[in-house]
Chains A and B, each alone.
Chain A
Amino acid sequence: MSPLALLALPAFPAISALALIFFGRRLPYNVLGGIAVGAVAASFALALGFIPMDVLGEGAPVTLDLGPWISTHAFQAALRLRLDSVGLCMVLLVTFFGSLITAYSIGYMREDREQGRFFAGLNLFVASMLTLVLSDNLVLIFLGWEGVGLCSYLLIGHYWDQPGVPLAAFRAFFVNRIGDIFFLLGVFTLFGAFGTVSLSELHAHGSELIVGHEKAAGLAALLLLGGAFAKSAQAPLHVWLADAMAGPTPVSALIHAATMVTAGVYLLMRLDWLYSVFPQARMVIGICATTTLIVGALLALTQTDIKKILAYSTLSNLALMFLALAAGSSGAAMLHLFGHAFFKALLFLAAGSVILAAHHEQDVRRLQGVLKTLPITRLAFWVGCIGGAGLIPYLSAGFFTKEAVLESLRNSRLDGFGLHISGGWLYSIVLVVESLSALYLFRLLGYLSSDDREAAYAHEPESGHGHDGNPREKSRSVRLVLGILALAAPSFAWFSGRLVPLHWGHVFPSLVANLALAAGCFAVFSTSRRRELLFKGLARFSVFGGGGVGPLTRLFYFDDVYNALLVLPLKAAAWLLRLVFENIFIGALSAMGWIGERASFLLRRLQTGNVQRYAALMLLAAAFAAYFLLRG
């Protein structure tokens, strides 16, 4: 296949996006969706065509050089696309999930408005993500990086007239832009140290060029982390991801779970040579990721919004990928990125099916027992939860991938800033926190499979329900995609089992513990009586939200701290500048005008029109002049 096909990969969805923006409102809905799916599927087919070209593994990468992109005397960034093993895996992931989720959206968005804009956004997202993955230099990556951010922003804001949605979109935009400042500074520092921003050149010669520039390179490594953390929602820049759930559910599945949020992981994978040199940077990754891991898992445990539970679980899983990177194992990070994409996309899409059937009800307490009449969604949920909790080897998409991360941690060690964290510690922390995933996923599943029929949705005689008033899976495309993914996730689990060696001795105890936790949690949450008992017991501890002041209900105070330290001071300073400084400044100018005016009124009195006075003044002046001239 010609290298020009590389250009076609992002071009298909990009052109489709443009077409949908302009003609989206005039096209029939199915045509609209068909175009969107077709464009992404075409990219997927094209990407499949690269597999026989021996790109995977140690094969030679395919490159396409289109000359300079932004290039001056002193600064060069080439318009160069490159597809190597990692790139091809990412392209396949993005286009596979992209086409499936776009197809799912045809069913999901049927009753919605502004569908043209929605599908254009999805297409543009895929195009940007492919640009990000295919770019060979950091500046061009930034194009894709910001492109996916833009699409994320636009799609979060899809329900723009609902309360809270504009703010959620704004937070996603703003937090990502904060990361971008660090990203840009990092790129410049890197360019200053190495004289190039090309990833392949850096990868090939970075370890030699670094000699003499260690300090700058180390700084660049830290700065680029800022960008990666913002995009991949790692603490302390994770605050936007839960809000991002304000967007339509397919968007959450594609952008905020399977693909975009992994961009930070991808970036660090591309620069792994840099991070292998700087233990300090890996220390920072380790600390932030561990924090995110714990915060995400604990918050997932207490949320009641079905999508937010999954969002916080995404945080936690992204942290797992970063931990693998901190341990120096890009392979494990990549594997978990894939495993997570499979089970999380499945879970989100299943949640979307529930939400659709229950008329956009998202509170799990009002969704009890909803799965009873949704057979395919039920299957998908079970496969997704088992996959996410890593309960059954060769069936759980997340089992072997988590195992790979854990194994990489076991042999690692973090040093830096005078701290030392041994791999054993990290291993234990992750092992414990990951067992929480069994808890929060089966808590969710317990609610949805509960016996109680007190949920409000069940009794509303609306068009979406069957004759008995129960919710139904109406949409064919939703059922189809859920079915495909419910099959694909275990297949991936089977495949991943061939990549990761299984140490039964390490795995067995945690496996049994997780199974027990999952079963117990499901047993408690699937009946209201046991649930009430549990809540009564828990209410004694303020951490769990007694009185609404615990750290869990306040989301560990991250928002409060940002408000107190950043938002309020900034606003106060702005108003201070406006009211005091700007007004004094402009007031002083006006005062100067007034003084000038007054002064001219005073001076006017000299001009009386009295000829005698003029003559006297002239005489006086002439006398003065004569005196000074004649004096010397």
Chain B
Amino acid sequence: MTSSLLAILVLPILGALFFAFYPVKPKSLSALAAIFSYCYSALTSLTAILALASDSGFSIQSRAFHLGVSGFEMIPRFFLDGCNASFVLLLGLCPPVVFTLLRDRECRYGKSYYACAFALVAALAGVFTSDSLLLFYFFWEAALIAVYFWIGLYGKPGFHAPRVYPVLLRFVLFTLAGSLPMLVSIAAVCAADLRDPGLHGLAAVVSRMAPNVRLWVFGGFLLGFSVKLPLLGFHGWLRDTYNVAPPACRALLSAAMSKMGAFGLIMILAPSFSGEILRFAPQLQILAVMGVVYGAMLTLAQERLIDLLAYGSLSHLSLLALGVFTAVGAGDAATTGLSGSVLLVFNHGLIMVLLFSLDARVLPGEESPDKGLLTGLRGRQRRLTAFLLLAIFASASLPGLSNFVGEILIYFAAFQASPWLVFFAASGALIGAGALVRFFHSVFLGSSSSAGRSEAILSRDLDAGETAIALVLAAIWLALGLYPMLLLHPVERAILFLDPVGWTG
């Protein structure tokens, strides 16, 4: 199994190199990318499922490195267990959806487009599986670099952003403002122990630190994760970056890259800094709930699907953070909240990748459908509309679809902290869902004769292949919604290993 774990990391790097340097004909680029993503997806999904099924997961590890005169020790180690397998599974499932639904038939994009895409996938795979903090940071920034070039090379001015570069710059600065403090924290942790303790050894090192140092280290990590997720107040990059990014990039950004922040919250912050989280629990929980409500309220005032999705994403990811912040110190309910957050990561990712892909798929120019200009699109795009509605209902956490399970577990954990958290979070979720459904009604339903644009410029409906991949996602939602123990059981078992019941600070 270790070899397949290695392949998860190496394959996308090879893919990126292949697309960067091998002279592929422009016509066959998109097909090659799709085929490559399917192979990668099969391998990754299989490995992740095996890791979920196995008791303790598996890992690869090279010999230790010693750096400099001080003998700083670092052991490059990658692992895959029940906790991070859902992240990896999500990462494996996203690229095929993106490269099928947004297949570039007009050869708009060059080789570097795909090189950036696979570099991003490789970086994400690294973030989700590396056990050493330095490698974690390396991949964290690598993801940023990949996205920087992807948007920089192929971004288009959006509705809210007349120029790409200022937006891109803001995105990079924002992310750096979060990740550089995180680097300082990592350095502090490494310096304290004269070795890289890794994710699994972090808690022990941190517990030996002086309380005020630990607080600063905690702050550095929290900042890095809050920007990436983003939490409320750290979301300044969100809307405009989604606006200028190429559709495939924004789908991966929302579905997978934002999960880097979630990964950090669940795998680093909660286990190692439970005392600090507990200390600031009320503030953090309120911040998360405000994020849910704020994001949802803003979806009400948007006219373009992409903006709705961007703010809806803010709302959902704040809910995820709420799960983490309420789980810590919740005693018995701790595993419930964390399992809910992990499930939400997976489900939210799958829903967002489909929603963002369909959003760009409606109009041929990959623009987002606009409320005022279009109506009655269902007449021409029946399948697309059907899947869009299904995804909207999934994101509204309809029971029977998988997202419900994660949300109800988070609500349960939050309820232990305070019922009002659940009330506001659920009301926020309701407003967000309502806004999305209302948007759907005004654009996709109604009579198409009154449409402001002629029907001719709509894209064709989903073809067989696109329907098949959307059906796979729908089947996953349905299976995990009707029988959630398939995923919940292994996830909770792995989380129990972290011993969250004992996190009382």
- Which residues does A use to contact B, with CB under 8 Å? 67-75, 79, 139, 142-143, 145-147, 150, 157, 160-163, 165-167, 169-170, 173-174, 177-178, 180-181, 184-185, 188-189, 191-192, 570-571, 573-575, 577-579, 582, 585-586, 589-590, 593
Contacts and interface: CB of A to CB of B under 8 A. Distances in A.
Contact of B442 (A142, A166, A191, A593): A166
Interface string B318-343: 00000000000001111110010000
8 contacts: A70-B488, A143-B400, A157-B445, A160-B446, A161-B376, A177-B396, A577-B298, A586-B236
Contacts of B334: 73-74
A184 B411 contact: yes
A147 B404 CA distance: 13
B415 A192 contact: yes
Contact of B170 (A142, A160, A579, A593): A593
Contacts of B446: 160-161, 163, 166
Interface stretch (B42-50, B107-115, B418-426): B418-426
> Can you list the 5 inter-chain pairs with the closest CB atoms, starting with the nearest?
A574-B300, A166-B441, A574-B301, A578-B301, A74-B332
Q: Pick from A67, A178, A180, A188 the residue with the most CB of B within 10 Å.
A: A188
Contacts of B433: 177
Interface of B is mostly: helix
B445 A184 contact: no
Nearest to B174: A589
A177 B436 CA distance: 14
Given A163-B446, A577-B301, A578-B301, A70 B409 contact: yes
B336 to A, nearest CB: 4
Contacts of B405: 70
Contacts of B331: 74
Contacts of A162: 447
B448 interface: yes
A593 B422 CA distance: 38
Contact of A577 (B169, B174, B297, B488): B297
A180 B434 CA distance: 13
B284 interface: no
A75 B301 contact: no
A20 to B, nearest CB: 14
Given A70-B405, A192-B415, A575-B301, A142 B485 contact: no
B287 interface: no
Nearest to A142: B399
B379 interface: yes
A611 to B, nearest CB: 34
A163 B423 contact: no
Contacts of B169: 593
B369 to A, nearest CB: 15
Interface of B: 166, 169-170, 173-174, 236, 239-240, 294, 297-302, 331-336, 339, 376, 378-379, 393, 396, 398-400, 405, 408-409, 411-412, 415-416, 419, 422-423, 426-427, 430-431, 433-434, 437-438, 441-442, 445-448, 483-485, 488, 492, 496, 501
B218 to A, nearest CB: 25
A571 B303 CA distance: 13
Contacts of A191: 412
B419 A177 contact: no
A150 B396 CA distance: 12
B298 A74 contact: no
Nearest to B400: A143
Nearest to A173: B437
B294 A577 contact: yes
A477 B333 CA distance: 55
Looking at A75, A160, A184, the one whose CB has the most chain B CB atoms below 10 A away is A75
Contacts of B170: 589-590, 593
Nearest to B332: A74
A184 B408 CA distance: 8
B484 to A, nearest CB: 5
A593 B166 contact: yes
Given A189-B419, A589-B236, A590-B170, A72 B409 contact: yes
A575 B437 CA distance: 18
A188 B422 contact: yes
Contacts of A157: 445
Given A72-B492, A163-B446, A166-B442, 6 more contacts: A68-B485, A69-B485, A74-B332, A185-B422, A570-B300, A571-B301
Contact of A70 (B240, B416, B427, B484): B484
B332 A73 contact: yes
Contacts of A73: 332-336, 492, 496, 501
Given A73-B501, A74-B336, A184 B426 contact: yes
Contacts of B236: 585-586, 589
A44 B170 CA distance: 63
A574 B298 contact: yes
A143 B409 CA distance: 15
Given A73-B496, A160-B378, A160-B445, A181 B301 contact: no
Contacts of A180: 430
Contacts of A150: 393, 398
Given A74-B336, A188-B412, A578-B298, A166 B484 contact: no
Given A67-B485, A143-B400, A170 B409 contact: no
A69 B445 CA distance: 35
Contact of B434 (A174, A185, A577, A586): A174
B240 A586 contact: yes
Contact of B431 (A67, A70, A570, A582): A570
Contacts of B447: 161-163
A163 B411 CA distance: 37
Given A577-B297, A585-B236, A69 B302 contact: no
A72 B411 CA distance: 13
